[in-house]
Structure 1
Amino acid sequence: MPIDITDVLKRGYSRSTERNGLTLMGIIFVISVLDGVLGLGVDRLNAGQQFANSGQVDPTLLVPSLGAGIVSLLLGIALLVVSIAAIRVFVSDETERLPREYFTRNMVWAAINLFVGVIVFGIIVALGLVAFVVPGIFLLVTLAFWTVYVAVEDQNFITAFRSSWGLTRGYRLNLFVLGVAVFFLVVLINLVFGLGDLASGSLAGDIVALVFAQAASAITTVFSTAVLATAYTELTADEDDEFGETASDDEDTTAGRPAA
């Protein structure tokens, strides 16, 4: 039975606008803005010092750049942890709180697999896109749920690829249409918030543009994650129902057999 795309989008929107969904948006927004402002500050500082030194390279420039790099790395790790927790939140029935265990349970294992898996996934899809596009789109759809299996089921990324492949069997056209719908919604949101680029040029203007861009990113990230988790829960529920019906049929068949 095909999934109801409109219903999945509505439920994904509803989950992303619940209390914990909005909280996740806020956390992602703050982390991203801090990282962006840090980068802007270092770039301006380096540009100013190089100009003052008449284009000569000043070794002291490495100090703020190195410090900013370390802080940026920590912020990136924090964003990865929040992304994993967001998947766990939206797969659950929790709509108010952000349970602590979602941010801690097997987090190192999940983070490493997600980090490495993203690289491998990107390479696989990119190779597929190079091969006449269609294989790349097919792989993008069939492997769409691997992050959920890593975050929720504690699978390694290779097993997660296999699990996603099996879960999407029979639903791939449906999921492709769902992905296209999400893509256009994300593009629309980015276009609206992209108006902040009109203010760029000065430091204040660049910060305004950054805030708008990261607000759009936080919204689309949480919404996309909520839709992905919603589709996952619906597909796994259908899978369980199908398994239950098969088991029930087997029991009925066995019950109808004469005793040996």
Structure 2
Amino acid sequence: MALHLSHAISDGLRRTLSKTGGILFIGLLIVQIGTQAAVNTAVSSYLPAGLTTQAGLTAGLGLPVSGAGALAIFAALVILSAAFFVIIARTMIQPQDKISTIPVDATRRLGRTTLAMLIGGILVSVSVFVGTLFFILPGLFLATSFLFIVFTIAVEDRGVIDGLKRSWGLASGSRLKLFALVVLTTVFGGVIGGIAPLLDYGGIPVASEAIVAVVTAAFLTPYYGILAASYLQLRDEQRGVDRRSTEPADASGTPEL
């Protein structure tokens, strides 16, 4: 299998410029702002004020709840975001003329799939982190290999291990092109990570976090569209190979000897 990246990019951008793309953008924005506010509230509640000042932590987005309440909201957002991505993945891979409509089976086995998504996400994050410790490249290689974990679990209803294996198989043969997507997100993360402190030093921590959330959502929305298009391309190509290898040859036009 070989990914045609230019086609995946154009197809992914078309998928992004849809109602589903708009929902994805808003969902990403809500999750990021809510998560940041919950983390800020929990940190300010449990850490002594002197310690936060000494560490250079500035008060940004916050919630009018206790530290325990903030942690509960954070946990709820993590679970809801996993369920959200399950539904978005199932919607984003539809044909272009149906992509703005949420499919009737978008919530099938939602609890089980959300749990698998959470566990799979944790396993991928840990493996990528550990791999990054070994001269960075192993981590990027693993991130590339597990790039389709959202789709293999959400769309194909696979379990965690099977979903990881399936993502690995889909990436095989196209890792160099997929690696470019991973590097792009890594560079973007580095740029955002460098800009955010500069805005904080300007004395506008709330505006800083809001700007970062908007820019990140604007970047990730087409990125997920491109991932969906890449997944579809590789999946359909593999299915075509599988059909040709499993279906018996048509001998109706072969003359008898």
> What TM-score, normalized to structure 1?
0.76
Distance in 1 between residues matched to 2:157 and 2:14, nearest whole Å:
26
Cα distance per residue 1:194-217 (max 9 Å; x no partner) = 479526565xx2211111111122
Rg larger for: 1
Residue 224 of structure 2 is matched in structure 1 by 225
Equivalent residue runs for 1:135-146 within 5 Å: 135-146=138-149
Query: Residues 8 and 230 of structure 2 are in contact (CA less than 8 Å); yes or no, is this contact kept in structure 1?
Result: yes
Give the match for residue 97 of structure 1: 101
Task: Spell out, residue by residue over 1:13-40, the C-alpha distance to the aligned partner (whole angstroms, 9 max, x if none).
Answer: 2222312211221122123223333444
Structure 2 CA distance, aligned partners of 1:254 and 1:3? 35
What is the TM-score normalised by the length of structure 2? 0.77
Q: Is the 8 A contact 2:91 2:102 kept in 1?
A: yes
Report the RMSD for the aligned CA atoms in angstroms.
3.3
Distance 2:81 2:128 in 1: 23
What is the aligned length?
A: 241
Aligned equivalents of 2:132, 2:190: Cα separation in 1: 24
Aligned positions of 1:1-80 closer than 5 A: 2-41=2-41, 64-80=66-82
Contact 2:12–2:226 (CA<8 Å) still a contact in 1?
yes
Using the TM superposition, give the Cα deviation of residue 182 of structure 1 relative to its aligned residue in structure 2, in angstroms.
Answer: 5.2
Higher relative helix content: 1
Change (3 A) 1:46 1:120: closer
Measured at CA, do residues 253 and 118 of structure 1 come closer, stay the same or move farther in structure 2, by a change above 3 Å?
same
Residue 60 of structure 1 aligns with which residue? none
* Alignment CA distance shift 1:158-1:73 (3 Å): same
- Structure 1 residues 166 and 190 mapped into 2: Cα distance closer, same or farther (>3 Å)? same
Do the aligned partners of 2:90 and 2:155 also contact (CA within 8 Å) in 1?
Answer: yes
Are residues 1:238 and 2:237 paired?
yes
- Compared CA separation, residues 196 and 247, structure 1 to 2 (3 A): same
Counterpart secondary structure, 1:154? coil
Does the CA contact (< 8 Å) of 2:8 and 2:229 recur in 1? yes
Aligned residue for 1:108?
Answer: 111
Segments of structure 1 that go 5 or more residues without pairing to the other structure are 52-62
1:54-76 C-alpha deviation (Å, 9 max, x unpaired): xxxxxxxxx81112211222222
Q: Which runs of 5+ in 2 are unaligned?
A: 51-64
Q: Secondary structure at the match of 1:109?
A: helix
